[in-house]
Amino acid sequence: ANEQFLADYRPYPFDLKQVALEFDLAPAATRVLAALDFQPRESGADLVLDGGKQIKLLSLTIDGAVPDAAHVSRDDETLTIAAAALPSGPFRLETEVQIDPSANTAFEGLYLSGGMFCTQCEAEGFRHITFYPDRPDVMTTFRVLVRSDQPVLLSNGNPVRQEPGLAEWHDPWPKPSYLFALVAGDLVAVSDHFTTRSGRDVALNVWVRPGDQDRAGFAMESLIKSMKWDEDAYGREYDLDVFNIVAVDDFNMGAMENKGLNIFNSKLVLASPDTATDADYERIESVIAHEYFHNWTGNRITCRDWFQLCLKEGLTVFRDQQFTADMRSAAVKRISDVQSLRARQFREDQGPLAHPPRPDHYEEINNFYTATVYEKGAEVIGMLKRLVGDDGYRKSLDLYFQRHDGDAATIEDWLQVFEDATGRDLTQFKRWYTDAGTPRLKMAEDWGDGRLTLRFTQNTPPTPGQPDKPARVIPISVGLIGPNGDEVLPSQILEMTEASQSFSFDGLGARPVVSALRGFSAPVILEREIDDATRAFLLAHDSDPFARWEAGRDLALSALLQLAQGNMAGDDYIAAIGQLIADENADPAFRALCLNLPSEEEIATRLSARGVVPDPDAIHAARTDLARRIAETHEALLSNLYRLMAVPGAYSPDADAAARRSLRIAVLGLLSRIDGGDRAEVLFGTAGNMTERMAALVCLIRRGRGQTALRLLEEEFGDNRLVMDKWFMIQPMVAPVAESVQIAQTLAKRKDFDWKNPNRFRALLGGLAANHAGFHRADGAGYAFTADWLMKMDRANPQIAARMSTAFETWTRYDAGRREKALAALQRMAAMEGISRNLREMVSRMIA
């Protein structure tokens, strides 16, 4: 194993003063000339450069002279020049290498996507381009010359020269190699400009393939909003003359924040009403913002090493969440973020892949771009803000930018800034960064003589490598509601620091109802003794939208958990939800969130947290049954709402229209359980937007009536990759349990199942994995099918295979029969000859 440890960090023994690169682009034989100006920081150190074995070294000189061959050595991952061959002062290392972008199916380094050259260098892609100290704490300025017959030639920074067949770029901001980017292709731009608050005029371009221009306007609008927001909310201004965004079809993740040249998965740029859903639009807006915000939190201040990844990712996610909250509904955004945290991060934290936001060891860094690093990293910052207050947060961030601009920083630096700006001791708080696992927070109440006492105890179950968990600081936001529904104590933060701690409230007339963990003030699992009547009371009266939604959620879950274990339940929930449906004052998006039942995966997670082995088939049946009963009980109300929420006029992706559609779709989902799918069929045929057509399609497939709609969609959009990705995903995802694997198998045989394209692969395999009962089929067919494809993908693209292997991360919670089959699939992958480091690390952590 090639384990890396945080404790082994040593600074690089050379400063890199500047870099000049020259690219002669050719699909199978690209030449790269690199001139690196080094200055030794200590004497006697060998110069170790990262560089993969697929790089062909053509020449190497030091200050123009070829060193003695005995002083130059290579292994599979590095090139070393012995100290004996190096001058004691500054020197220039020049290399010429040849690489083959056309053979690069891993999409790391320089590769081809649809005939266009592009790069992906985070985390360690630059080492596939040339020999280099490929680590984030080596920062320098880059000058880049590109020769190619492609019409558009882009790199980081500002343009210096543009001629047919040649372009030169200079990036004045020192940066690590992971932020390097180059694009060469037949592209057209949607252009605009932005004037920064100090008056700098910035040219903005969103580059797409010819023909896609009319789907790039929303991305441009989102960019301009992001630039303005970062000035207003954080005082951060853009710092180059140009900001380029390029959309590419083959991309391992969502997008990449390369300095001045962001590269995006085309699904996060291209949108038109007939091809993209409201959720797509919202995601585009937030990812454009996320990558733009990295310019300060990631690029100007980067990470010292990859263990510090959450320094840039947690903070940038937190910032993009704030942005979306400001652009749309803050309450709805918070609820959706918590939903996705629970679905992805809590799931990770409760299984064999649990790790802290700042891990202290890894084998393959690409396996640590996780929900824990990103989403929990953002939650930790939210808690910090709650503890130091809005002013303290602003002061700390100002100090962070002032003190660390140009640095490769650490979590210690980050916390020190908060300590210095606010005077607070964050020693205990740091455990949120270093400890894995989701704390369980128990709350009990004592009442008497007008005094309410809340007794809290915290306990975090062991996670791999961390058996004992000391108590953490937990900010618990609490409000009290009187029996008539009025708030008797507005939200306040209780700061829990001990394993057990009590907080009292005096002078209360009547016993209030406690609204706890308002706004989801800490990423914990709250356990409290509460009956369904109190939950229904909170759902009706809580002034905190998150807590109100949570009460409804708990009510639904309480019913579903009973139903999944064969007991009758659900009447309280059905009655309470009826009141909410009828509440015309409530935001439609909020009502939609309350109407959507918890997913089967979430029900399974809750059951297993209570020590019950989840039965995927029973869970599926329970959820189907409850949805049908809601529809039967409230048919008249729902039908009325379905009509009322129709959005007249031309489609607009704005938050209000999207909110109405989201409620209408939630209602359709319920009504289609009892109308045989008739409304869905009408909507599919008449809707002028992809949001409603997709929602209708889901209902039709669920009713076994999806064939015509699927055929129509294929006829209309067969040559649109992004729509066809949806088409590939939805079928295995919504298919009845007994058919899901077979449907996936049939789809995988199609000519347009271009499996090397990450979006297409994720659509099909991710669609199946999202069908809880289908993936966890008792006969193990879901596991076997997935394992076969992961092994195939691993040979082409290890990053994608490893990421998708997380479908198995919950395998230990199921019954013995399923466990045996899942383990067999994992073992088959582990035994694969030539397995990548990426997949091997994931599989072995899951088996351990």
Q: Could you give the residue numbers annotated as active site?
A: 291
> Per-residue x/- mask for ligand HT7, residues 242 to 261, rule CB under 6 A?
----------xx-xxx----
| Nearest residue relative to ligand HT7 (C-beta) | 253
Q: Following DSSP, what letter does each residue of 818-847 receive, concatenated?
A: HHHHHHHHHHHHHT-TT--HHHHHHHHHHH
**Is 130 buried (19+), middle (13-18) or exposed (0-12) by CB count in 10 A?**
buried
Among candidates 182, 47, 53, which has minimal Cα distance to 111?
182
> Is there a contact between 614 and 607 (Cβ–Cβ < 8 Å)?
yes
Q: Which ranges in 770-836 belong to alpha helices (H)? A: 772-775, 781-796, 798-804, 816-830
Partner from ligand HT7, Zn ion, none binding residue 705, C-beta < 5-8 Å depending on class: none
Non-local (6+) Cβ contacts of 551 within 8 A are 535, 536, 537, 538, 539, 542
Shortest CB 808 distance to ligand HT7, Å: 21
> Per-residue x/- mask for Zn ion, residues 131 to 150, rule CB under 5 A?
--------------------
Shortest CB 302 distance to Zn ion, Å: 12
Round to whole Å and give the CA distance between 36 and 797: 30
Shortest CB 246 distance to ligand HT7, Å: 12
Q: Which is nearer to Zn ion, 292 or 642 (CB)?
A: 292
Q: Which is nearer to Zn ion, 316 or 336 (CB)?
A: 316
Partner from ligand HT7, Zn ion, none binding residue 364, C-beta < 5-8 Å depending on class: none
CB atoms closer than 10 angstroms to residue 518? 22
CB atoms closer than 10 angstroms to residue 328? 20
Round to whole Å and give the CA distance between 19 and 258: 16
Non-local (6+) Cβ contacts of 702 within 8 A are 672, 677, 734
Residue where the block lists tokens 């040249």: 261
Cis peptide before 123 (omega within 30 of 0): yes
Q: Which is nearer to ligand HT7, 257 or 794 (CB)?
A: 257
Partner from Zn ion, ligand HT7, none binding residue 120, C-beta < 5-8 Å depending on class: ligand HT7
Partner from Zn ion, ligand HT7, none binding residue 252, C-beta < 5-8 Å depending on class: ligand HT7
Shortest CB 313 distance to Zn ion, Å: 5
Q: Which is nearer to ligand HT7, 255 or 556 (CB)?
A: 255
Partner from Zn ion, ligand HT7, none binding residue 205, C-beta < 5-8 Å depending on class: none
Non-local (6+) Cβ contacts of 362 within 8 A are 3, 4, 306, 307, 368, 841
Q: Which is nearer to Zn ion, 375 or 692 (CB)?
A: 375
Rg (CA), the chain: 28
* 287 to 266, 313, 825: CA distances (angstroms): 12, 12, 35
Residue where the block lists tokens 């995601």: 283
Round to whole Å and give the CA distance between 402 and 414: 12
Q: Which is nearer to ligand HT7, 373 or 790 (CB)?
A: 373
Residue where the block lists tokens 């306990």: 459
Shortest CB 291 distance to ligand HT7, Å: 5
Non-local (6+) Cβ contacts of 531 within 8 A are none
> Per-residue x/- mask for ligand HT7, residues 293 to 332, rule CB under 6 A?
-x------------------x-------------------
Q: Which is nearer to Zn ion, 303 or 559 (CB)?
A: 303
Q: Which is nearer to Zn ion, 67 or 254 (CB)?
A: 254
Round to whole Å and give the CA distance between 142 and 162: 17
Beta-bridge mates of residue 457: 442, 500
CB atoms closer than 10 angstroms to residue 497? 12
Round to whole Å and give the CA distance between 699 and 681: 9
Q: Which is nearer to Zn ion, 148 or 316 (CB)?
A: 316
Partner from ligand HT7, Zn ion, none binding residue 253, C-beta < 5-8 Å depending on class: ligand HT7
> Per-residue x/- mask for ligand HT7, residues 139 to 158, rule CB under 6 A?
--------------------
Of 194, 369, 717, 753, the one binding ligand HT7 by CB under 6 A = 369
Subset of 572-601 contacting Zn ion (CB under 5 A): none
> Is there a contact between 36 and 92 (Cβ–Cβ < 8 Å)?
yes
Shortest CB 404 distance to ligand HT7, Å: 18
Q: Which is nearer to ligand HT7, 310 or 690 (CB)?
A: 310
Binding residue count for ligand HT7, defined by CB under 6 A: 13
Strands 116-120 and 140-147: unpaired
* 265 to 17, 283, 318, 581, 648: CA distances (angstroms): 33, 12, 21, 38, 32
Q: Which is nearer to ligand HT7, 123 or 452 (CB)?
A: 123
Shortest CB 389 distance to Zn ion, Å: 26
Binding residue count for Zn ion, defined by CB under 5 A: 2
Non-local (6+) Cβ contacts of 806 within 8 A are 348, 353, 842
> Per-residue x/- mask for ligand HT7, residues 709 to 728, rule CB under 6 A?
--------------------
Q: Which is nearer to ligand HT7, 148 or 258 (CB)?
A: 258
Of 215, 290, 304, 404, the one binding ligand HT7 by CB under 6 A = 290
Shortest CB 762 distance to ligand HT7, Å: 13
Shortest CB 125 distance to ligand HT7, Å: 8
**Under rule CB under 6 A, residue 548 binds ligand HT7:** no
Shortest CB 758 distance to ligand HT7, Å: 9
> Per-residue x/- mask for Zn ion, residues 296 to 335, rule CB under 5 A?
-----------------x--x-------------------
Non-local (6+) Cβ contacts of 199 within 8 A are none
**Is 470 buried (19+), middle (13-18) or exposed (0-12) by CB count in 10 A?**
exposed
> Per-residue x/- mask for ligand HT7, residues 99 to 138, rule CB under 6 A?
---------------------x-xx---------------
> Is there a contact between 368 and 477 (Cβ–Cβ < 8 Å)?
no
Shortest CB 256 distance to ligand HT7, Å: 4
Among candidates 321, 375, 319, which has minimal Cα distance to 343?
375
Instruction: State both tokens at 700.
Output: 């039709």
Instruction: State both tokens at 827.
Output: 């073992």
Q: Which is nearer to ligand HT7, 294 or 772 (CB)?
A: 294
Instruction: State both tokens at 447.
Output: 């009442």
- What residues line the site for ligand HT7 (CB under 6 A)? 120, 122-123, 252-253, 255-257, 290-291, 294, 313, 369
- What residues line the site for Zn ion (CB under 5 A)? 313, 316
